[in-house]
């Protein structure tokens, strides 16, 4: 479902061109639970942002769900992202003036022209799924970090995206909260076969994914399938 071929990313910073990603190729199949790992500054976020259509590669080809992303203009790219991709950020990025309910509903209003009744059903289902139904009328400043990330997960999933990207989703959480957030994503991946792509060095995530992609100095240095027992995990 994702085919990235020879992606390159060069940031132009004044006089200097910074070649952050040199040659990145990767195929990701539906339902994978996969993480990019690598030291800080190695380019994990840069790759995630390109795969997640938040940023465009300088060179290379990126095909998602049969669509060649690199040939879309800005508006089409934003539409494509809204229809197919969910994003979860380290710092949650909830909208402070919207309630929990409204934060989750927001992508449906912005992107997908769903009638009100259907919107409501989807939002309530997801609130229930992430265990936040009883908090739906609160505002982001009134809930904990772990609860914020649950809301962000619901917001990322509300459009029924094919792929969810999560950039260091547990970095601002204590380890117990982090574990429960990871378990939630794992449950969603198993029940809905949603593809999750992480960028993280959190061992708690790394120990749960099915595949690890190591990035060092802008190149993939290792692509490792991790086989895990399916019982009792
Ligand atoms: P990671 O997520 O692995 O920590 P990043 O993808 O954020 O790495 O960054 C990789 C490199 O690219 C770093 O050296 C960083 O300073 C640089 N970089 C990231 N974003 C930009 C940008 N918008 N402009 C210039 N340089 C950037
Ligand atoms: Mg990063």
- Mention every residue, 6+ apart, whose C-beta is less than 8 A from residue 40: 201
**How many angstroms separate the alpha carbon of residue 45 from the centre of ligand 1?**
7
Report whether 131 contacts 103 (CB < 8 A): no
pTM of the model: 0.93
pLDDT at 212 over 80: yes
Tens digit of each residue's pLDDT (9 = 90 or more) over 128-162: 999 999 999 999 999 999 999 999 999 999 999 98
Tens digit of each residue's pLDDT (9 = 90 or more) over 70-119: 999 999 999 999 999 999 999 999 999 999 999 999 999 887 778 899 99
Q: Whose CA is nearest to atom 16 of ligand 1?
A: 41
Band (231; pLDDT cuts 50, 70, 90): very low
**How many angstroms separate the alpha carbon of residue 80 from the centre of ligand 1?**
24
DSSP character string of 33-48: EEEEE-STTSSHHHHH
Domains and CATH numbers, the chain: 31-57+73-225 (3.40.50.300)
**How many angstroms separate the alpha carbon of residue 39 from the centre of ligand 1?**
12
DSSP single-letter state for residue 133: G
Nearest-ligand number for the alpha carbon of 36? 1
Residues in the chain: 233
What is the model's pLDDT at position 203?
A: 92
Neighbours of ion ligand 2 (CB under 5 A): 44-45
């Amino acid at each position: 479902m994702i085919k990235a071929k020879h992606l390159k990313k060069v940031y132009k910073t004044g006089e200097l061109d910074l070649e952050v990603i040199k040659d990145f190729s990767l195929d990701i199949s539906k339902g994978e639970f996969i993480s990019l790992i690598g030291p800080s500054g190695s380019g994990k976020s840069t790759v995630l942002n390109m795969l997640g259509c938040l940023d465009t590669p300088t060179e290379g080809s990126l095909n998602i769900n049969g669509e060649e992303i690199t040939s879309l203009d800005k508006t089409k790219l934003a539409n494509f992202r809204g229809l197919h991709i969910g994003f979860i950020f380290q710092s949650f990025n909830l909208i402070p003036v919207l309630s929990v309910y409204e934060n989750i509903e927001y992508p449906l209003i912005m992107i997908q022209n769903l009638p009100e009744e259907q919107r409501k059903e989807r939002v309530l289902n997801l609130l229930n799924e992430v265990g936040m139904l009883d908090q739906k009328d609160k505002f982001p400043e009134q809930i904990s970090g772990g609860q914020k990330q649950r809301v962000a997960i619901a917001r990322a999933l509300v459009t029924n995206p094919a792929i969810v990207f999560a950039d260091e989703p547990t970095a601002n959480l204590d380890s117990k909260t982090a574990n429960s957030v990871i378990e939630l994503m794992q449950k969603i991946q198993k029940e809905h076969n949603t593809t999750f792509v992480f960028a993280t060095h959190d061992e708690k995530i790394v120990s749960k994914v099915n595949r690890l992609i190591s990035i060092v100095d802008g190149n993939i240095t290792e692509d490792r399938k991790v086989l895990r027992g399916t019982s009792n995990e």
